[in-house]
Amino acid sequence: MSTDRIVGQPVPRLEGRDKVTGQARYVDDIELPGMLFGATVRSRVPRGKITKITFGAEVDWREFVIVSAKDIPGKNCIALIDDDEPCLAEGMVNHPEEPILLLAHPDRRLLPHAVEALSVEYEPLPAIFSIEESEQQSQIIWGTDNVFKSYLIEKGDVDAVWEKAAYIVEGEYRTGAQEQLYIENNGMIAAFDPQQGVTVWGSMQCPYYVHKSLVKLCNLPPERVRVVQTETGGAFGGKEDYPSMIAGHAALLAMKSGRPVKIIYDRMEDMAATTKRHPSRTRHRTAVSKDGKILGGEIEFTIDGGAYETLSPVVLSRGAIHAGGAYYWPNIRIRAKAVATNTPPQGAFRGFGAPQSLFALERHMDRIAQVVQLSPVEIRRRNLLKPGETTTTGQSVSEAIDLRKLLDRALRLSDYAAKKERFARENRGGNRKKGIGIASFLHGAGFTGSGERYLSSVVGVEGRTDGSVRVLVSSTEFGQGTNTVLCQIVAEALQLRYEDVGIAQPDTQEVPNSGPTVASRTVMVVGKLVQSAALGIRQTLEASGLLGARYSPEEFRAAVRAYVAKNGKLQSLARYEQPEDVVWDDQKYRGSAYAAFAWAVYVAEVTVDLTTCSVSVDDFVALQEVGRVLHPILATGQIVGGIAQGIGFALYEKVIWDKGRMQNGQMTNYIIPTSADLAPIRVYFEELGNVHGAYGAKGIGELPMDGPAPAVINAVEDALGVPFDSIPLLPEDIFDAVTRKAGRESISSVAEDGR
Amino acid sequence: MRARPADYELVAPGTLSAVLSLLAQEPGEWLPIAGGTDVMVQYSAGTLPARKLVSIWSLPELRQIEVTPSEVRVGAGCTFADLRQHEIVGREFALLAKAAGWTGGIANQNRGTLGGNIINGSPAADSLPALLVYEAELVLVSVKGERRVPYGDFHTDYRKTQLAPDELVRSVCLSRRFSGYYAHARKVGARNAQAISKVCLAALGRLADGVVDDVRLAMGSVAPVPLRLRETERTVKGRRIEPELIQVASRAAAAEIRPIDDIRSTARYRTAVAGNLVAEFLERLSVAGPAQK
Amino acid sequence: MNESPQNRAECDIPFQVNGKLVAVRVYPMERLLDVLREELGLTGTKEGCGEGECGSCAVLMDGALVNSCLIPVLQAKGAKITTIEGLARGEQLHALQQAFLDCGGAQCGICTPGMILAAYHLLSTKPQPSLEDIREGLSGNLCRCTGYEQIVEAVAKVGRRGSGG
């Protein structure tokens, strides 16, 4: 490690200069000649048949391009896993904000007026809005039973543990929808040329997802669809699948008008209409031995997917696999399902199911601790996984991770023991109660199970005429550092200077499909392929006699120049191969779910001011084992940013729904923390390496989303002695619970059989 | 951005008298816009009813702070930043200076005006409870001249004021007699900055020989208008601050306010917190009050 | 034709941007943000919310930090506006821009122009701010990527050096 000159160093962010000078070009900064602006007419009812569309007389509609489902050349769907989500509603709408018609006009300012002048009439149908309503099945709104997907994960013989248990602990935990709130709203520009086909530019995470869906929608061959990612102002999963919808809309308008079309959402539209984190309900029933060891348990994990399937099966999968967390479960049954409601489809948000199930689990561990009368520390110490033990899917922990040592270190860094004791003492009087809480957890990096093999990612590294080297991936930069780290990897692998390496703008015409930029896979999986492809360039140059075994960056540059001049092209591709030790059974849902896990212990210290029941997080320790830190500043930035979102998830961010429509779709009313709301977050890394990741790295983008909410809520319970099992936890909720303490209702039930 | 600029007219006559003439010629036709931090949000959302606007931003007659021996006259066009920066406002009318620092972020404080806050008439506005406890008087101006009205009566209902269609608020007059009072304010919002208040309290108190000689309490976000809690004040005036009195006052406050459930909070929560805020103030007054002399 | 029923007139509005005199002919109620971006091609100033809440549209107007999405361009007549494009001196970055690069203050970059201007404004009023001053001074600029830590660090770095005004 100490021989690495570039990897591990805080090199400047590759596109950083453009960002700090305002030169970086996001989609709304781009104008094309003759460009029209587009807007979307959306459903105002949660479910119903469209009976009439009236074009108001106050608008001259002849000036507008109008697109309906009838104009779709291919299949009316946003192709993702299944093709159930329409691009434009045809006859039926199944959620508020569902797109019905598209308009385009040269005057951007005229469009909202035109949208308002268009009225749609419906014959409303009964709609459902919650998991429970969906389960009731009095209205079937999707498939035959409202269930998008279900999974069953089983290990051992859970039915046999109950009679052996000294304690049986139950709990029900809920998380609400969460809006990604990237500061750059969704936007796309599309252009159509009869020869070249459709081109789109825009804010996105996954150019090839957009490509695939446009091919189907526009009925064009793959080589006549081109997708280009522009500088993207935040994504967090919110631009994983939705861009396909907006790209499709822009493309349809461009095809019909023959002119480029730009669609940019304003904040209200983006919040109300696009995907959010799946709301969840998790039910735990756990058998525990007299000395606090988990004997087994049943977990029922249910998520609300909204009106169409989109990514719900995959969110469900990750949430279900993470539901047992970082503990050893000798026996377990996890029943997971994703259900439909008449709300805008939910989607990816950093963590992707794991923050939901891990919130439940980490709250449940504290509950178990109370029942068994052990401390939150001790209950974890007794149950954390050890090397050689297996996870809930039967994956063996094959690295030398010592979770108890990690726990101890986090406790030391946070001064946990002294603070817990002091708070208990000081809380006896006064209006300000302090508490400290823990979360210990893991996050699997890369696609689940056979997912990476299915993706079959390809990357390229090429030498250019000027002798520089360029990375070719469809993996996108949206703040997390893709550009920087992939160039670091190549510079390190080829012993070049960081400045000698560039990266191509993700353009499906120029770069291979390195898979979507999701699942914390970019540095670990794609980075390793990039490393391999880079070495391929060197091999080619050596084999051609242009490069010796040792060389300076200038010599390398000269060799590249010479090779390209002679041969026209210098490119090396690398394709993903599933490691032999990562074996997964898709039918039984067992085996090695992920090539690598990152591990973490987070400790949150809070104050609850009972005058207002507001919670402030006063100190936050984040300790994680991440394989290898490739860029200390970027890595720390990812952790802190994720923790801020996790604190928002726990204490601030509430989506207020009314009949399936978000009511608080403004930044004034959807509350994320400001700089005045967050205390310093202290970040610490450990590095055990990772054979499956570039330079030993594991994926870390989503890890920090899993721990903060349960750590904070555990701390709030520590402060108040009142349990909270649902987030977001607002002061109003704390107030209601504290005042209701005497007649407190809790789903928790305990059976002690005296053994 | 849901408004079409072509549909709107905005004029900037540049002097107070020119603006007043316009308002007199076409009363109710022109919406005055100062810093725009309220008007432009509605405009952008496509929900601004007005189509004709007259700019009163930075009119010199409105954007000044006059200090006389007996009062401070804050021009209605003063921004919250102006208030925060003014030494005498900070020293003698701390509740107003503090509220100015709560109103949005720095960028909005540089544009939002005291007059705008008053005329917008939201019961959640941060600076209005301070004006109530300072018993401010407003100077209203039109082509017909000036009139002076007590601020306490100015808000007649939710977002409705006594302002006539041809009038502007010219200044907010604050009597310089509060230096001997203990001043306390607290705002409860969803986060520490850029939050519309769920409840806020502005309070002044003065003790004489351990007894409450004078007390003024005003709250935001607990009624259709910013509310002076006179009933609650009556329970405290002339009494010694003791735990039982604090409870009585706290309950009186909870009974006197009329909060609602809305997108930000619940009536139940607001009621309880309002009581807590009053209790907190009285506790602090009992400790710090005697030192005020 | 979809002409506005009121048929309002555009007007000439001169002001200064980054030291240069400009004059635009626009409707008086165009937002300053849109005039900067669309008429003048200065796309460094961003729209994040349109409600004056996120601060991505922040510019300096006569030295004061303001949210350009809330300013009708007529009110900018005669004003001196500074946008992010006006901070660097040619190739020489402003100390704050360099500090943001050094400390990781910019991730996705969309909040960065407004954030840097807010920091610039803060340092012009408080050249050596405390960490609390920094957090308060930037509390009108929302960032979703960084959790603010590395932004605060960048501003503190410049503040300590006292070279940020």
CA atoms within 13 Å, Cβ hemisphere of B269 = 27
- Reported as a single tens digit per residue, the pLDDT across B104-145 is 999 999 999 999 999 999 999 999 999 999 999 999 999 999
Cα A644 to Cα A675: distance, rounded to the nearest angstrom: 10
Find chains touching chain B: ≥3 CB pairs under 8 Å.
A, C
> b/e string for A32-57 if b means 16 or more Cβ within 10 A?
eeebbbbbbbbbebbbbebeeeeeee
Compute the average pLDDT of residues B12-35: 97
Helix then strand then coil, in percent of chain C rounded to 5, is: 35, 20, 45
Please answer yes or no on whether A681 and C147 come within 8 Å at the CB atom. yes
C109, pLDDT greater than 70: yes
- Reported as a single tens digit per residue, the pLDDT across A268-320 is 999 999 999 999 999 999 999 999 999 999 999 999 999 999 999 999 999 99
The encoded tokens of residue A555 equal: 């010599």
- By three-state DSSP, how is residue A469 classified? strand
The encoded tokens of residue A210 equal: 């957009």
Chain A CB contacts of C49 under 8 Å are 267, 666-667
Nearest CA in chain B to C10: B6
In a domain, residue B276? The reply is yes
What letter represents residue A653's amino acid? Answer: E
What's the pLDDT score for residue A752? 25
The encoded tokens of residue B34 equal: 């100062």
C162, pLDDT greater than 80: no
Cα A614 to Cα A499: distance, rounded to the nearest angstrom: 49
CA of B238 vs chain A CAs: smallest distance (Å): 26
Chain A CB contacts of B268 under 8 Å are 732, 735-736
Which of B122, B186, B273 is the best residue to mutate to test the A interface, defined by the most A CB atoms within 10 Å of its own CB?
A: B273
What's the pLDDT score for residue A743? 47
CATH number at residue C101: 1.10.150.120
Find chains touching chain A: ≥3 CB pairs under 8 Å.
B, C
Which of A413, A504, A457, A436 lies closest to A714 in space, CA to CA?
A436
In a domain, residue B292? The reply is no
Clarify whether residues B171 and B65 are in a common domain.
yes
Compute the average pLDDT of residues A492-515: 97
CATH number at residue B68: 3.30.465.10
- Based on DSSP, count helices (H) and strands (E) in chain C, helices before strands: 5, 5
Please answer yes or no on whether A674 and C116 come within 8 Å at the CB atom. no
Compute the average pLDDT of residues A348-363: 98
Residue among C8, C52, C137 minimizing CB distance to B9: C8
* Distance, CA of A314 to chain centre: 11
Please answer yes or no on whether C48 and A667 come within 8 Å at the CB atom. yes
- Reported as a single tens digit per residue, the pLDDT across B18-28 is 999 999 999 99
In a domain, residue B132? The reply is yes
CA of A646 vs chain C CAs: smallest distance (Å): 10
Cα A714 to Cα A436: distance, rounded to the nearest angstrom: 7
Clarify whether residues C45 and C63 are in a common domain.
yes
The encoded tokens of residue A591 equal: 């085996």
Question: Residue A749 — pLDDT band, cuts 50, 70, 90?
Answer: very low
Nearest CA in chain B to A668: B195
Please answer yes or no on whether B1 and A112 come within 8 Å at the CB atom. yes
Compute the average pLDDT of residues C49-78: 98
CATH number at residue B248: 3.30.390.50
**A92–chain B Cβ distance below 8 A for any pair:** no
CA of B39 vs chain A CAs: smallest distance (Å): 15
Please answer yes or no on whether A640 and C53 come within 8 Å at the CB atom. no
Residue among A266, A673, A731 minimizing CB distance to B1: A266
Clarify whether residues C15 and C82 are in a common domain.
yes
Question: Residue B292 — pLDDT band, cuts 50, 70, 90?
Answer: low
A159, pLDDT greater than 90: yes
Nearest CA in chain B to A266: B1
Please answer yes or no on whether A611 and B3 come within 8 Å at the CB atom. no
Clarify whether residues C20 and C75 are in a common domain.
yes
What's the pLDDT score for residue C2? 67
* H or E, element range at A260: none
CA of B119 vs chain C CAs: smallest distance (Å): 18
CATH number at residue C77: 3.10.20.30
What's the pLDDT score for residue A741? 72
What's the pLDDT score for residue B291? 63
**A26–chain B Cβ distance below 8 A for any pair:** no
Q: Do A750 and A371 contact (CB within 8 A), yes or no?
A: yes
Chain C CB contacts of B107 under 8 Å are 52, 55, 58, 65-67, 118, 140
What letter represents residue A602's amino acid? Answer: Y
CA of C98 vs chain A CAs: smallest distance (Å): 8
Clarify whether residues C75 and C11 are in a common domain.
yes
Percent of chain A with pLDDT over 70: 98
- How many residues belong to chain C? 165
Cα A250 to Cα A65: distance, rounded to the nearest angstrom: 11
Of C30, C54, C86, the domain-final residue: C86
Clarify whether residues B118 and B29 are in a common domain.
no
* H or E, element range at A451: helix A451-455
Can you list the positions of beta strands (E) in A332-393?
A: 332-339
Biggest CA–CA distance in chain C, Å, is 60
State phi, psi for A356 to the nearest 5 degrees: -70, -55
Question: Residue C161 — pLDDT band, cuts 50, 70, 90?
Answer: confident
Cα A625 to Cα A688: distance, rounded to the nearest angstrom: 7
Nearest CA in chain C to B101: C136
Chain C CB contacts of A266 under 8 Å are 47, 50
Clarify whether residues C10 and C78 are in a common domain.
yes
Nearest CA in chain C to A105: C2
Clarify whether residues C75 and C140 are in a common domain.
no
Which of A339, A328, A337 lies closest to A297 in space, CA to CA?
A328
- Reported as a single tens digit per residue, the pLDDT across A507-549 is 999 999 999 999 999 999 999 999 999 999 999 999 999 999 9
Percent of chain A with pLDDT over 90: 95
The residues, any chain, with a CB within 8 Å of residue A485's CB and separated by 6 or more, are A522, A523, A527, A630, A631, A634
A185, pLDDT greater than 50: yes
Number of cross-chain residue pairs from A and C with Cβ atoms under 8 Å apart: 177
In the sheet where C80-82 sits, what is the strand order?
Answer: C20-26, C11-17, C80-82, C58-61, C64-67
Q: Do A648 and A673 contact (CB within 8 A), yes or no?
A: yes
Cα A525 to Cα B271: distance, rounded to the nearest angstrom: 55
Which of A267, A652, A735, A741 is the best residue to mutate to test the B interface, defined by the most B CB atoms within 10 Å of its own CB?
A: A735
Of B154, B175, B196, the domain-final residue: B175
Please answer yes or no on whether A233 and C97 come within 8 Å at the CB atom. no
- Reported as a single tens digit per residue, the pLDDT across A426-436 is 999 889 999 99
Please answer yes or no on whether B106 and C140 come within 8 Å at the CB atom. yes
A747, pLDDT greater than 60: no
Clarify whether residues B228 and B277 are in a common domain.
yes
Q: Which of residues 389-418 of A touch B (CB under 8 A)?
A: none
Clarify whether residues C151 and C132 are in a common domain.
yes
Of B153, B175, B197, the domain-final residue: B175
Q: How many domains does chain C have?
A: 2
Chain B CB contacts of C47 under 8 Å are 1
Clarify whether residues C11 and C43 are in a common domain.
yes
Percent of chain C with pLDDT over 90: 91
Clarify whether residues B197 and B167 are in a common domain.
no
Clarify whether residues C11 and C79 are in a common domain.
yes
A742, pLDDT greater than 70: no
C6, pLDDT greater than 90: no
CA of A262 vs chain C CAs: smallest distance (Å): 14
- Based on DSSP, count helices (H) and strands (E) in chain B, helices before strands: 11, 14
What's the pLDDT score for residue A208? 98
Clarify whether residues B20 and B96 are in a common domain.
no
What's the pLDDT score for residue A751? 24
A683, pLDDT greater than 90: yes
CA of B238 vs chain C CAs: smallest distance (Å): 40
ipTM reported for the complex, 2 dp = 0.96
Of B160, B175, B190, the domain-final residue: B175
Which residues form the domain of C43? 5-86
Please answer yes or no on whether C6 and B9 come within 8 Å at the CB atom. yes
- Reported as a single tens digit per residue, the pLDDT across A126-153 is 999 999 999 999 999 999 999 999 999 9
CB-count burial class (<10 Å; 0-12, 13-18, 19+) for C9: exposed
- Reported as a single tens digit per residue, the pLDDT across A632-667 is 999 999 999 999 999 999 999 999 999 999 999 999
Chain C CB contacts of B9 under 8 Å are 6, 8, 28-29
**A739–chain B Cβ distance below 8 A for any pair:** yes
CATH number at residue B36: 3.30.43
Cα A280 to Cα A136: distance, rounded to the nearest angstrom: 16
CB-count burial class (<10 Å; 0-12, 13-18, 19+) for A174: middle
Cα A407 to Cα A404: distance, rounded to the nearest angstrom: 5
Please answer yes or no on whether C144 and A645 come within 8 Å at the CB atom. yes
Q: Which of A34-43, A358-367, B274-283, C154-163 has the lowest mean pLDDT?
A: C154-163
Find chains touching chain C: ≥3 CB pairs under 8 Å.
A, B
Nearest CA in chain A to C95: A20
**Residues paired with A301 in a beta bridge:** A282, A336
Please answer yes or no on whether B45 and A268 come within 8 Å at the CB atom. yes
Chain C CB contacts of A17 under 8 Å are 93, 101
A226, pLDDT greater than 90: yes
Which residue bears the tokens 């010199």? B60
Clarify whether residues C74 and C12 are in a common domain.
yes
Clarify whether residues B64 and B51 are in a common domain.
no
Clarify whether residues B9 and B47 are in a common domain.
yes
Clarify whether residues C64 and C23 are in a common domain.
yes
What's the pLDDT score for residue A644? 98
- By three-state DSSP, how is residue B54 classified? strand
**B5–chain C Cβ distance below 8 A for any pair:** yes
Chain C CB contacts of B48 under 8 Å are none
Question: Residue A4 — pLDDT band, cuts 50, 70, 90?
Answer: confident
Cα C124 to Cα C116: distance, rounded to the nearest angstrom: 12
C7, pLDDT greater than 80: no
CA of A671 vs chain C CAs: smallest distance (Å): 10
- Reported as a single tens digit per residue, the pLDDT across C31-57 is 999 999 999 999 999 999 999 999 999
C165, pLDDT greater than 60: no
Compute the average pLDDT of residues A3-17: 93
In a domain, residue B163? The reply is yes
Q: What does pLDDT average to over chain B?
A: 96
What's the pLDDT score for residue A1? 43
Clarify whether residues B212 and B132 are in a common domain.
no
What's the pLDDT score for residue A744? 41
Clarify whether residues C121 and C156 are in a common domain.
yes
Which of B250, B269, B282 is the best residue to mutate to test the A interface, defined by the most A CB atoms within 10 Å of its own CB?
A: B269
Question: Residue A754 — pLDDT band, cuts 50, 70, 90?
Answer: very low
What's the pLDDT score for residue A582? 85
Q: How many domains does chain B have?
A: 3
What's the pLDDT score for residue A3? 59
Which residues form the domain of B85? 60-175
Which residue bears the tokens 């001053």? C133
What letter represents residue A749's amino acid? Answer: S
Q: What does pLDDT average to over chain A?
A: 96
